[in-house]
Chain A
Amino acid sequence: MADLFDRFAPLMSQRDAFFTDGGADPFNVRMTEILSQTEAMIGNRRTILVGTNNYLGLTFSPEALAAAHAALDAGGTGTTGSRVANGTYAGHADLEQALCDFFDTRHAMVFSTGFLANLGVLSTLMGQGDYILMDADCHASIYDGVRASAAEIIRFKHNDAADLDKRLARLAGKPGNKLIVVEGIYSMLGDTAPLRDIVAVKKKYENVYLLSDEAHSLGVLGKYGRGLPEQEDCEDDVDFIVGTFSKSVGTVGGFCVSNHPKFNILRLVCRPYVFTASLPPAVVAAAQANLSLIKSGGALRTRLMRNAQKLHAGLSGLGLKIASKVSPVVAVVAPEPAVAVAFWRGLIEAGVYVNLALPPATPYGYSLLRASLCAAHTEEQLDEVIGIFADVATSLGLIEPQRKRAAIG
């Protein structure tokens, strides 16, 4: 009889080949002390964090800390149940109103994580006889959400509005609603959706809705931080925005906002909303406090983009291949998984933490060292990061020593 876990054998042997030689292992990183938004102790080493998605550095904002402390003392450590069964705390309703005000939408619904928001909304919004057209590079939570839907699921080529157009044209005669799903910033490579082109395609057909996942672009793009739809001036054409509090908002939780008049029925049909515990009061209060900082956070966004530019220029100047244009996600493409693993280890041993991302979790089968910037990174920290990338890349033979000298002076 085969062992229960035998079907994971190929994955286990891939993991063992890389990570059972006693060297550093991304699945076993222990941050023993969080020194700031940008530094932690990993083992005995002070490490610069360049892989946190903490884009605005709001995890220690005095406003959120104070609000969370007060809510914790007033409301306790948890709600111990779902809002549908155990009731809504005033804080949940206040946060939803704050989201409505922030996005200028009629409705907002808070979920316990961003993953659950996608799972809940995408599994219920479209039904039998409907169609979901999703970008091929969408996040795992979108894949899992649409898989749980009764609709027919069609993928279009990443960021290819013409391919979407072709696929919508094939469905033009068929009854049923159609939902396009894209992301503001795609998490692995940091590229953005061609939202205006997508909107133009959407408008060519009947009964087509658009959902954008702004997980990585909330707080990052747009004058007021409302994400890619704000930046591209097409908010009225995006019917549903899904997002998370776990990146720029600096805590945990998810949401969906919409102007659809009947939106609130989702509260009764989204199982990942009905059957899971609601966010604890301290988290709700922190999210609301940081949301208002994001709205007025133009200076933070300027610093973030300046840092993104610096790291992008520094690493591409070394001769490393970067997967996309300047963005708060800077993904260095390694030639193969084993090199990416060695690169990642070299970085962490020298005090730089980035994300190691290997196929099949990555687009195009890329092996990635994925860095994400924070508004709170200093120039000195980024100089140190670029210097360490240069040392490790040189020792792995990925760049020529003179490139290193030229880039870091």
Chain B
Amino acid sequence: MATGTDHQPSPDTFAALYEVIGGFNKTGTVLTPGTRFSEDLNFDSLVVMEFVAEVEDRFDISVPLNLLPDIATIADFAVALEKIVAEDRR
């Protein structure tokens, strides 16, 4: 998702994501933009769904399920998130 775009998500977006992920970070992994949900955080399908629901609440958006297969890292998610927020404002 992040590849092929110049867009850099804002530090605020990352900070908010880190906060939400904190509640699910059972491996105690240090969070960086490159942290991977599946490999590094061991998120299974159920945790992914709970995590997405929390992000949706926090940002008052809907994250289509179709986006999820293309999201591997926190940076990927941040880019997708800012795109949804920007589209909703239009």
Contact between B62 and A365, CB atoms less than 8 A apart: no
Interface of B is mostly: helix
Q: How large is the interface on B (under 10, 10 to 19, 20 to 34, 35 or more residues)?
A: 10 to 19
Q: Chain A residues near B53 (CB, 8 Å)?
A: 136, 155, 157
Nearest A residue (CB) for B88: A170
A89-133 interface (Cβ within 8 A of B): none
Is A152 part of the contact surface with B, judged by Cβ < 8 Å?
A: yes
Given contacts A136-B49, A170-B88, contact A154 B44 (CB under 8 A): no
User: Once bound together, how far apart are the Cα atoms of A151 and B66, in whole Å?
Assistant: 9
B49-90 interface (Cβ within 8 A of A): 49, 52-53, 60-62, 64-66, 88
Q: Chain B residues near A147 (CB, 8 Å)?
A: 65
Given contacts A136-B53, A170-B88, contact A154 B65 (CB under 8 A): yes
The residue that B62 contacts in the complex, of A10, A167, A359, with Cβ under 8 A, is: A167
Is B30 part of the contact surface with A, judged by Cβ < 8 Å?
A: no
Q: Chain B residues near A170 (CB, 8 Å)?
A: 61-62, 88
User: Once bound together, how far apart are the Cα atoms of A303 and B66, in whole Å?
Assistant: 44
Q: How large is the interface on A (under 10, 10 to 19, 20 to 34, 35 or more residues)?
A: 10 to 19
The residue that B44 contacts in the complex, of A152, A153, A360, with Cβ under 8 A, is: A360
Nearest B residue (CB) for A363: B46
User: Once bound together, how far apart are the Cα atoms of A258 and B73, in whole Å?
Assistant: 42
> How distant is A147 from chain B, measured CB to nearest CB, in Å?
7
Nearest A residue (CB) for B63: A154
Contact between A154 and B64, CB atoms less than 8 A apart: yes
Contact between A360 and B46, CB atoms less than 8 A apart: yes
Is A146 part of the contact surface with B, judged by Cβ < 8 Å?
A: yes
Other contacts beyond A136-B53, A153-B65, A155-B49: 4, CB < 8 A: A154-B64, A170-B61, A359-B46, A360-B45
B interface with A by C-beta (< 8 Å) = 44-46, 49, 52-53, 60-62, 64-66, 88
A-B contact pairs, 20 of them (CB 8 A): A136-B49, A146-B65, A147-B65, A152-B66, A153-B64, A153-B65, A154-B64, A154-B65, A155-B53, A155-B65, A157-B53, A166-B60, A170-B61, A170-B62, A170-B88, A171-B62, A359-B46, A360-B45, A360-B46, A365-B46
5 nearest A-B residue pairs (beta carbon): A360-B46, A153-B65, A152-B64, A154-B62, A167-B62
